[in-house]
Amino acid sequence: MQCIIHAGLHHTGTTSFQHFLFNNRDLLAKSKILYPLSGIYKNSFQHSLIPGSYIDKHLFIDEKRNRNIKDYLYSLEKEIIKKNYELCIISSEVFTELLQISEERLNLLFKELSEIFEKITIFITTREPEERAITQLKKMLRLSESIPAYRTELFNAPELFINKIKSVDKNIKRWSEITNDLIICNMDENDYPLRNYFENIIKVLPKQNQLSIKEEINLKNILNLSNNFHDNKDPHELYKYIFCILIGIKIKNSEETLKNKFTFLKVIEFMEKIKSSENNILKKINKNNLLLLLKNYSKLEFGRNNIMEILLSANINLSATYILDKLLNEFIYNLITND
């Protein structure tokens, strides 16, 4: 029996794809494809508990979880023998996280899995690196409110943004060094990324089997889900992220008491009170402006107080630049004077 391990990457439609696979388990089973329940973490649709067995601490997995990989694999084997499956799909970005933490531990996991499966193929979903990095940065800034480890994003966004861009090729290179059985699928190459993912996965099966699967499933569910495909829905305008990043740049080297007061939520609350005329001007700031700001700051030598220069280098017009500079000083003054 073959196994496809979908190892991410993060922010490439993985959650939507996992939802599809989980919600259509019965339909997939009719085509002899297993999306197992074993190893799925509570309140999710991914098998993070399998690679998570080899990770000591994880931000999103309970420390008190069962970390005995034998238990998960025993449960998995029980699912497999219920039906004459031809393909098992296991999906979790935590496989790539484990690779980043310890290649040795990842190899131990593969050794265990090879006792069950005749062949294991790694399936990597990716996307344009800058788009992925922006999505990742914005999500981490939002989550910095509840996850202390993400607070570093508040003060080091430009540097960490560049690292995020580089991590795509770096992770793919590391996977290619571990195995030749590797499928890479870019979500940007097709209008229906989830359908594209699924079609690439079933290519590991004989052509006759592929045809019968397509006829059985008809890909309607994937098409419907692809039309509703969302990329980490974001309730905030781009200028609020730029504002947050600039605050972090300005107070990065300030006293800890001031830095500790700074949160993403305070940025949102402050920005909700600005004049409608200011809001209308700032709303014209676009993704290209954000990209230029992040990339230029990393390349050029700006002083932390040269905010006007930083903004103008990102092709943000003078009106928006002046308003942001004014609001930045107001926000920091409020941060200093309010308990």
pLDDT tens digits for range 284-325: 999 999 999 998 886 665 555 588 888 998 999 999 999 999
Distance of alpha carbon 32 from alpha carbon 22, whole angstroms:
15
Is residue 222 very low, low, confident or very high in pLDDT (cuts 50, 70, 90)?
low
Q: 79, 87, 36: which is closest to 212 by C-alpha?
A: 87
Kindly report the average pLDDT of the chain as a whole number. 92
Q: What's the pLDDT score for residue 39? A: 98
Distance of alpha carbon 187 from alpha carbon 281, whole angstroms:
33
CB 312 within 8 A of CB 318: yes
Q: What's the pLDDT score for residue 300? A: 60
Angle, alpha carbons 122-130-243 (nearest 5°): 135
Q: What is the CA radius of gyration of the chain?
A: 23
Q: Name the segment(s) of the chain with CATH classification 3.40.50.
A: 2-129+166-227
- Written as six digits, the tokens of 6 are 């979908």
- Written as six digits, the tokens of 54 are 């080899």
What would the mean pLDDT of 30-38 be, rounded to a whole number?
Answer: 94
Q: Is the pLDDT of residue 230 over 70?
A: no
DSSP 61: B
- Per-residue pLDDT of 172-191, as tens digits, reads 999 999 999 999 999 999 88
Q: Does 213 or 110 have the greater pLDDT score?
A: 110
Distance of alpha carbon 183 from alpha carbon 317, whole angstroms:
43
Distance of alpha carbon 127 from alpha carbon 132, whole angstroms:
6
CATH domain 2-129+166-227 topology: Rossmann fold (3.40.50)
Q: Is the pLDDT of residue 281 over 70?
A: yes
- Written as six digits, the tokens of 2 are 């073959």
Structure pTM?
0.92
Query: Which of the residue ranges 160-164, 193-197, 226-230, 237-241 would you say has the lowest mean pLDDT?
Result: 226-230
